[in-house]
Chains A and B, each alone.
Chain A
Amino acid sequence: MTCNELHDLLDDYLDGELPQAQRTAFERHLDGCAACRRQLSREQALRADLKAMPVPAPSADFAERVLRQAVESNVDHHHRHGFVTGFGSALVAGLALWVVVGLFPVPQDTAPSGQAPLQTVSIALNETQDVKLVFNAERVVLGARISIELPDNVAIAGYPGRKRLEWQTDLAKGSNLLRLPVIATGTDAGQLVAHIEHDNKVTTLKIQLDVQKPDLTGTVRLPAQRMA
């Protein structure tokens, strides 16, 4: 093997891509050629130094922030447009169904009972989809009690047969995401009702679920604006 031939194979040698026979000839040449050994050393040093260039750590809340922004940016997008048109079963399965923003504590402009206006969401039959409720809390709320009541034809994935879920949780100040993996087993329309209770105050959200057969195109209607 000549020096020029070795130089042509240098990258493959360092990448570990050289066939055995060529590798043997390559190394045999190296044993007897100081110039080629220096060339190999320079190439190895270049690669080592490239790898040694430091990367500063990202900002402390990087992961949380980019994930949150990915969600919130898409919520804002859907709300600005007001609706998403056209779905097949695959699209619906991946569609982020953002529904309603519940406000807690009870806002001034809701009914005295703390009920928000009825919202409507279309979901596909026999397909699990995430219906996402975003609750904006003006302050941290500890020990809020959330309950979800489901219509007869709707279940929450992972909780077969349950028509009511109830639990206690804390709410962070700002946006709190409640992700409901709903699956409709029948085409009857029905209402999903969410109550959130704290300190003897209750906010109620009612969501009208219209169940569509997956091969129909249609409109997923989202609320035109978020409650402030």
Chain B
Amino acid sequence: MRNILPFTARRKALPDFETLVRPHLNHLYRLAYRFCGHRQDAEDLVQDLLIKLYPRHAEVARVEKLRPWLVTTLYRMFIDGTRRKARSRLELIDDETSFYDSVASSDDRPEQSLAREQRIERMQQAFERLSDDHRTLLTLHDIEGYRLVELEEMLDIPLGTLKSRVHRARARMRQLLDETVDASPGAHE
């Protein structure tokens, strides 16, 4: 919808809702995509967030650090099941070949960029198979760089609990990656 009144900055009214949230939309979308694994679901999650927050414009305008607050709200909406997809459970296949050991040998071959693409694709497949909790924590901490002390405050989870959950998320990620070695083309050439 177009805003058609050319008001100036002299007004003392609350900052426009769009002015408040627009600078954060791309970041929220990135997080939502990591959480959901699907572009449309990610856009819908951000959409739902804005629909929820629009009536709370005054509250949003008073938040001191808006980005972490928005991230926390997005995270809670996702975890509360707003945009959860059903995920199938995967049985762990016992395989002693490490994902990174196999990729290390494939990087020696001339087709290095192809090998990297395949590695990233397997990463994505494994990432999507993580639980919602593991995937969101790795997104926030390992990928987007939120420190654990920041996440402790944002998510209201004790630091020790956060550390162990992130640690388990990485361990699970490694397990899932190691499983993909068997199925990947050329892994054992």
Residues in chain A within 8 A of chain B (CB atoms): 11, 15, 17, 41-43, 45-47, 49-56, 58-59, 62-63, 65-74, 90-91, 93-96, 128-130, 134-135, 146, 156-158, 167, 169-172, 174-181
- The chain B residue with its CB closest to the CB of A70 is B50
A129 to B124 Cα, complex, angstroms: 47
Q: Interface residues of B: mostly helix, strand, loop or mixed?
A: helix
From residue 51 to 105 of chain B, which have CB atoms closer than 8 A to chain A?
51, 53-59, 61, 98, 100
A15 to B170 Cα, complex, angstroms: 14
**B100 adjacent to A158 (CB under 8 Å):** no
Return B54 CB to nearest CB of chain A, in Å. Answer: 4
A17 to B124 Cα, complex, angstroms: 28
Q: Does B155 contact A (CB under 8 A)?
A: no
A69 to B25 Cα, complex, angstroms: 14
A-B contact pairs, 28 of them (CB 8 A): A17-B147, A42-B100, A46-B100, A46-B170, A50-B127, A50-B138, A55-B33, A55-B34, A62-B29, A63-B26, A66-B47, A67-B18, A67-B22, A67-B50, A68-B1, A70-B53, A70-B54, A71-B54, A73-B54, A74-B55, A90-B58, A93-B58, A96-B57, A156-B7, A157-B12, A171-B2, A176-B1, A178-B3
**B54 adjacent to A96 (CB under 8 Å):** yes
Q: A53-B123, A158-B8, A177-B4 are in contact. Are A74 and B170 (CB under 8 A)?
A: no
Chain B, residues 106-127, CB within 8 Å of chain A (1/0): the string is 0000000000000110011001
**A69 adjacent to B51 (CB under 8 Å):** yes
Return A84 CB to nearest CB of chain B, in Å. Answer: 9
Q: Does B182 contact A (CB under 8 A)?
A: no
A50 contact set on B, CB distance < 8 A:
123, 127, 138, 142-143, 173
Top 10 closest pairs, chain A to chain B, by CB: A94-B58, A158-B11, A70-B50, A181-B13, A158-B10, A157-B11, A70-B54, A177-B1, A128-B13, A175-B1
- The chain B residue with its CB closest to the CB of A75 is B1
